[in-house]
Amino acid sequence: MSTRARKKQQDNKALGPLPKDHPPIPAPKTGVLLVNLGTPDGTDFSSMRRYLAEFLSDRRVIEWPRAIWYPILYGIVLNTRPKKSGAAYASIWNTDRNESPLRTFTRSQADKLTAALAGIDHVMVDWAMRYGNPSIESVVKRMMEAGCTRIVMFPLYPQYSATTTATVNDKFFEALMKMRFQPAVRIVPPYHDEPAYIDALARSIETHLAGLDFEPEVVIASYHGIPQSYFKNGDPYHCHCMKTSRLLRERLGWDDRKLMTTFQSRFGPEEWLQPYTDKTIEKLAKDGVKSIAVFNPGFVSDCLETLEEIAGEGAEIFHEAGGTNFTHIPCLNDGDDGMAVIEHLVRRELGGWL
């Protein structure tokens, strides 16, 4: 018997046998956790209210003092907005699975990443939502119980913002704070300027436009907005969005008149990042532009903000203002190009561990 084996045997004897009721110790695994923003469980009032309460009470999302915000949230917003938001979700709901498209796509991304990493031993892929189900805490617990002593956590946001990436990180580490035995962790960083991501976006645009019977005069990159005060306080989101657009222009050979950058989904009385997507779409039509395309490079998967707000409301605004041809370019979703980006970033972060 080798010295090392003898030492291990002595250590085991010193520890003594495990208690009879002790659960079996699984073989060590490395976990990969994909996390997206979130989704309600249904389109009914109570499901929407529960989801909106969790989302809009996040201090990263609404930075107003609680004494000012909570009376508005619980006295007005949560009594009026669930019905309106439920109707919006119902218009894009995946009725076959009875779930939102975001849940469908995120699950599929995890399934396809599992298949892509099948050749690597002891890797477990799972997915969670920052708001709604499955929760980050429940999935981290499941991964730990399965033997994941290392976890790569992937916030599915190309551009960093405290309202998205940071709040996912917060919730992830909050879950770890409750654990006696914590895994080693790595966080996939923002990838707004990652060549693989830029190339995937460019190919998706080129492929979509090639299938149209018209040529858009203007293509709009519409990102989710944040209040200007967040940007002024140091959030790098605006800079990340502008760099993504600049790199896309260079890749596509377009100028800033062909590829414009705008911001959508503003909420509340504050000034948000500008120019606003809806106002820009309306102005382009009134100025005589007849054909446009809009895509959402800040969203990994199509969701309420891309399908209902842009593909639906955006088209309506454009047509009512005099525009003729409107097309929405889908997000990368779980397509080959999008999955290649996710796999590339995950494999990079797994380096040195496997």
**Tell me: the pLDDT tens digits for 314-345?**
999 999 999 999 999 999 999 999 999 999 99
Distances (CA, A) of 244 to 78, 187, 226, 257: 35, 21, 17, 16
Q: Please give the single-letter amino acid code of residue 171.
A: K
- What tens digit of pLDDT does each residue of 61-76 get? 999 999 999 999 999 9
Q: Please give the single-letter amino acid code of residue 186.
A: R
Domains 29-192+336-350 and 195-329 share a fold: yes
Mean pLDDT of the chain: 94
Percent of the chain's residues with pLDDT above 90:
90
| 195-329 topology per CATH | Rossmann fold (3.40.50)
The pLDDT assigned to 83 comes to 97
The pLDDT assigned to 78 comes to 98
- What tens digit of pLDDT does each residue of 96-130 get? 999 999 999 999 999 999 999 999 999 999 999 99
Measured in whole angstroms, the distance separating CA 297 from the mean position of its chain's CA atoms is 11
Distance from C-alpha of 354 to C-alpha of 352, rounded to nearest angstrom: 6
- The architecture (CATH level 2) of 29-192+336-350 comes to 3-Layer(aba) Sandwich (3.40)
- 273, two tokens: 């990042």
Pick from 246, 242, 248: which is nearest to 262 by CA?
A: 242
The pLDDT assigned to 10 comes to 54
The pLDDT assigned to 12 comes to 52
The pLDDT assigned to 354 comes to 85
Is the pLDDT reported for residue 197 higher than 70? yes
- 299, two tokens: 């969203």
Domain ranges of the chain: 29-192+336-350, 195-329
3-state secondary structure of 40: coil
Tell whether omega for the bond before 134 is within 30 degrees of 0, i.e. cis.
yes
Percent of the chain's residues with pLDDT above 70:
93
Is the pLDDT reported for residue 11 higher than 90? no
- What tens digit of pLDDT does each residue of 223-275 get? 999 999 999 999 999 999 999 999 999 999 999 999 999 999 998 889 999 99
Distance from C-alpha of 249 to C-alpha of 256, rounded to nearest angstrom: 7
